[in-house]
Amino acid sequence: MQQTSRELVASEDEAGERIDRWLAAKIPELSRSRIQALIKAGAVTSGGGTIGEAGWRVKPGRSYSITVPEAEEPTPRAEEIALDVVYEDGDLIVIDKPAGLVVHPAPGHATGTLVNALIGHCGDSLSGIGGVKRPGIVHRLDKDTSGLLVVAKNDAAHKSLSEQFADHGRDGRLHRAYLALCWGVPDRPSGVVDAPLGRSQANRKKMAVVSEAFGRSARTHYHVEKVFADVEGHDFVAMMRLELETGRTHQIRVHMAHLRHPVLGDPVYGTGFKASARRLGEGAREALHHLRRQALHAVELGFEHPVSGREMAFESHLPADMARLIAALEAHQA
């Protein structure tokens, strides 16, 4: 296995810095967590001795060596799965994910995932995330949520994109927007759902709005884009634009259910509204039946390119199943 070695010397003004922080600043293409793993593996030495602690303090004029092994082959195997590639370069790839595609291998989904597809598609352009030739997943979409998703190809891109998603757009670099069809119409056309989320005590597979002591802060901004009537002419379905200030598991779906306006077709958080389909026109009922998923789509994604610093912005057209449902809802309007 090929490996590369770097030798670095600490200056006077760098004295006393933690070795992991110092190396991360000197070698930006490696994440701090990757450097910590290398330190733990004995890959950092000085004066013929191994440095085994990430908190080791550097000494001025002292030389430090770090050996980085070649990236290992990925554990998930490459698979030929068609991908809708919106943009790709040597550092990242933007995908328009279809509904039904799981992002990452997990129990019950060991193969046929986006990760398997990306390993097959990207091949040698994956230079290693954390020492493994794998795509760097910095955010996820639920299996049955469609839309835009960006993935890193190397450690440097993974580090930058992870920081942007962790900041959730507060510094202006990241932008995400979703479109959803929801049951009912909120009293206010725009607003913010500010409700902590955590695991449901009744069902550990579900998320729920919980007290601050047991959950993590979660904020969702919503705006009603359009309203559709039922067969009697009453406002009954809202097309909502949603922007995340945080990125919790199932955040939009749980927050909309918390507002008592769950996403149409949601099999987990909208089960209490199944009977509501009776109030839709025949075409809309049929389109909803064939949707077979939550009517939620990641329509916009913007971020700062992790290497060039360019502002990147992408939009996705609604997938055919959601577009068909909207057309059926519109056909029944007065």
Angle between helices 19-26 and 32-40 (to 10 degrees): 130
Structure tokens at 79: 């698979």
Tokens 């009697």 — which residue?
A: 232
Is 134:119 a contact under the CB 8 Å cutoff?
Answer: yes
- The label of the residue with tokens 């960006």 reads 150
Tokens of 197: 């989320």
Q: DSSP letters along 113-149, please?
A: SHHHHHHHHHGGG--BBTTBS--EE-S---TT-EEEE
For residues 199 and 281, give the distance between their C-alpha atoms in angstroms, rounded to a whole number.
Answer: 36
C-beta of residue 161 within 8 angstroms of C-beta of residue 305: no
Q: Which residues are catalytic?
A: 142
Distance between CA 210 and CA 195 in Å, rounded? 8
**Which residues are registered as beta bridge partners of 304?**
311
| Parallel/antiparallel/unpaired status of strands 85-88 and 63-69 | unpaired
The two tokens of residue 132 are 């493994």
**Residue 119: which of 75, 69, 149 has the closest Cα?**
75
Token pair 């230079």: residue: 127
Residue 147 neighbours by CB under 8 Å, 6+ apart: 96, 97, 141, 178, 297, 298, 299, 301, 316
